[in-house]
């Protein structure tokens, strides 16, 4: 499963907030909700978050093996 826990740590260390992401950078509130619930995001959104927060992908998300992962 993909966890967005690194995003929250990166966000807390930055000058940005969920408010500024939504109101200044046009990140939708539904995207913030997806981040909170570890729901899938598209790579364009991940790219936008990296640009806004001046960070790498690994500062946004990480893969954690899980029994809930879809069978291959």
Which residue segments constitute the domains of the chain, with CATH numbers given? Answer: 2-63 (1.10.260)
pLDDT digits (tens, 9 = 90+) for 21-72: 999 999 999 999 999 999 999 999 999 999 999 999 999 999 998 877 777 8
The pLDDT score that the predictor gives to residue 68 is: 76
R_g (Cα) of the chain, nearest Å: 12
Average pLDDT over residues 8-32: 97
Helix residue ranges per DSSP H, the chain: 5-13, 18-23, 29-36, 43-53
Instruction: Check whether 19 has a pLDDT greater than 80.
Output: yes
Compute the distance between CA of residue 50 and CA of residue 71 in angstroms, rounded to an integer: 30
């Amino acid at each position: 499963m993909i966890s967005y826990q690194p995003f929250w740590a990166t966000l807390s260390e930055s000058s940005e907030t969920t408010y500024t992401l939504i109101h200044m950078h046009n990140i939708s509130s539904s995207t913030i909700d997806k981040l909170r619930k570890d729901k899938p995001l598209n790579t364009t959104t991940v790219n936008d978050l990296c640009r806004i927060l001046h960070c790498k992908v690994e500062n946004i998300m990480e893969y954690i093996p899980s029994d809930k992962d879809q069978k291959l």
